[in-house]
Structure 1
């Protein structure tokens, strides 16, 4: 059982995280795995309250659950403010849907390349909405006018974030490649520049102008998705992360490429524009989806660095 749980944890470490910071720790017991936040890896400038850190933890929790289901167990998760405990549960036969999502795990990568101008079919978008709903979250596809408003918010947010004190130092911490590292964003994942400023993607090459990055022709009318939850306490953010990962894996299975556009939810005043407090609906993440060329995986830390002693 220990070996099975270690393999499931290894799979969970492929989950997405802000700047590929991998802000999680795992603890394996006889019949359960604890997934906990690692505050030392929180991005203090972009994520001072740890909201995105907990979303990343939630994404790891979902990947762990899915891996356990594929291994023939029915996981029983219990969410806490700082993470979750996932019990192994009784034996179970993985369904075709579980097999399909699990098969997508090693192929899910953040893609910052230009996407094709082909529209994403309505049936595929409906499947992504259903994926979020299964994890207790909401997924909205903004129509053209609202989409352009979200893009505008993202541009404003990107400018405000760049003006924050410590932004460049924090970016340098997660992009500097002075040694072989197992975290952060390598140059292969930066994506091309966008001279036309079509999309407000985060510029990971900002501090490395010497890199040769040809400009890309990004799609003029991207398809955006807004992920939201009913509630915004830490446990809701863990749930948001589980929904996010289910959506990302479903998108990968459908052959879609995905880019998180997190800037508008990293500026509180702008995040309010994606939130309806009266309905208790809180914007958690913006995603760009479409059809793009495959990209390389970003590095992951070995189990020896993420497994804690019980």
Structure 2
């Protein structure tokens, strides 16, 4: 998703603890020799009074919380914390949480919307679905069944909680390690068994997942990624919006606890003024398109998520399915990252849909996957900041 669905996510969508957000094309620089060749010099210029500050905050953000003995308000806040570890577009964390007896409601925070890349708020509601799925998995581990429904009047996801025997799963365990890994993978294929598990996790009665692991199909998707990425990069509104969410160094990432931390894309941590210059110099259609060619060809496969209807309730369901897919991938040691350009550029979306065999349906998310190294973690705002 344009979603670190940036997430970033986070995560983003994430360091030795591996998390998010985010959407792969959110890098401000590709592997440009002129910049990366001087990475050590640029890093040396960074003024970070506490070089461990970012790492310490990231470790706290992605910590594994206690399961036994948590109850009452502390339990509600822990469930919300797990929910916020989900990815969101540009790692904007476009959600708010309302706590009540026996229920938690997730509402859109439209002050954090991205109108250039997401004019109809599609990614906002996909992000709510990702957060809802994390909360459902965490509730089960803490001894509650969380049942999700879409509240049309409030455009919100309501999760009712009922006690049940606690049951932690590999998907719950993966919440604290999941990330959108916006780097190169090892190019090796996955086993048939792994592909089946991913497809099962990413599918529901309201969402279809198309999965390709053959090179001709992946090249076909690559063609549309390049077309759409080029269209976005010559759009001044898109570029300005993306740049506003980039955090060029650890202190800035810690200060805001959101956005796309440059180190999470494999780039050096540098002063903001230098980062803005580097962005303007090196963020070009050619450099970014070359990066996507390399990254897609290093992947084991591509998945496209398609909701049965083009409405907010199904966008939420798409988010839930994607998040299950991402958690299952994490549990298997598989990375993933968004390639959402073909679904974000309105003029290209119908062409892309037709090319992949969809008859009048809207493709919601495009994701590449494969095995590769973790990258540094994205951050999340404190729970208190997202409660209403």
| TM norm structure 2 | 0.70
Distance of 1:219 and 1:32 partners within structure 2: 41
After superposition, the C-alpha distances for 1:246-270 in whole angstroms (9 at most, x for unaligned) are 0000000010011111111101222
Secondary structure, counterpart of 1:84 in structure 2: strand
Shift of 1:109: 0.8
Partner of residue 243, structure 2: 172
Question: Which residues in structure 2 correspond to 1:222-237 (within 5 Å)?
Answer: 222=299, 223-237=301-315
Shift of 1:278: 7.5
Contact between 1:61 and 1:84, CA under 8 Å: does it hold in 2? yes
Contact between 2:257 and 2:381, CA under 8 Å: does it hold in 1? yes
Contact between 1:230 and 1:280, CA under 8 Å: does it hold in 2? no
Partner of residue 199, structure 1: none
Distance of 1:206 and 1:153 partners within structure 2: 27
Secondary structure, counterpart of 2:362 in structure 1: strand
Question: Which residues in structure 2 correspond to 1:242-261 (within 5 Å)?
Answer: 242-261=320-339
The partner residue of 2:189 within 92, 113, 119 is: 119
Q: Does structure 1 residue 141 correspond to structure 2 residue 208?
A: no
The partner residue of 1:19 within 83, 86, 90 is: 90
Partner of residue 220, structure 1: 297
Q: Over aligned residue pairs, what C-alpha RMSD do you find? A: 2.6
Contact between 2:132 and 2:320, CA under 8 Å: does it hold in 1? yes
Distance of 1:296 and 1:140 partners within structure 2: 29
Q: Does structure 1 residue 79 correspond to structure 2 residue 79?
A: no
Q: Closer, same or farther in 2 for the Cα pair 1:138/1:191, shift >3 Å? A: farther
Shift of 1:2: 1.7
Partner of residue 221, structure 2: 150
Distance of 1:185 and 1:288 partners within structure 2: 19
Distance of 2:296 and 2:312 partners within structure 1: 35
Question: Which residues in structure 2 correspond to 1:252-271 (within 5 Å)?
Answer: 252-271=330-349
Partner of residue 287, structure 1: 367
Question: Which residues in structure 2 correspond to 1:193-204 (within 5 Å)?
Answer: none
Partner of residue 179, structure 2: 109
Secondary structure, counterpart of 2:236 in structure 1: coil
Shift of 1:280: 5.8
Contact between 1:21 and 1:41, CA under 8 Å: does it hold in 2? yes
Contact between 1:12 and 1:60, CA under 8 Å: does it hold in 2? yes
217-226 or 234-243, which deviates more: 217-226
Contact between 2:265 and 2:375, CA under 8 Å: does it hold in 1? no
Distance of 1:135 and 1:296 partners within structure 2: 35
Distance of 1:114 and 1:264 partners within structure 2: 20
Shift of 1:273: 3.3
After superposition, the C-alpha distances for 1:101-158 in whole angstroms (9 at most, x for unaligned) are 0000010011111110211112111111111224632111234323211111000100
Distance of 1:299 and 1:209 partners within structure 2: 27
Structure 1: where are the runs of 5+ without partners?
Answer: 194-203
Q: Closer, same or farther in 2 for the Cα pair 1:257/1:147, shift >3 Å? A: same
| TM norm structure 1 | 0.87
Q: Closer, same or farther in 2 for the Cα pair 1:301/1:80, shift >3 Å? A: same
Secondary structure, counterpart of 2:297 in structure 1: coil
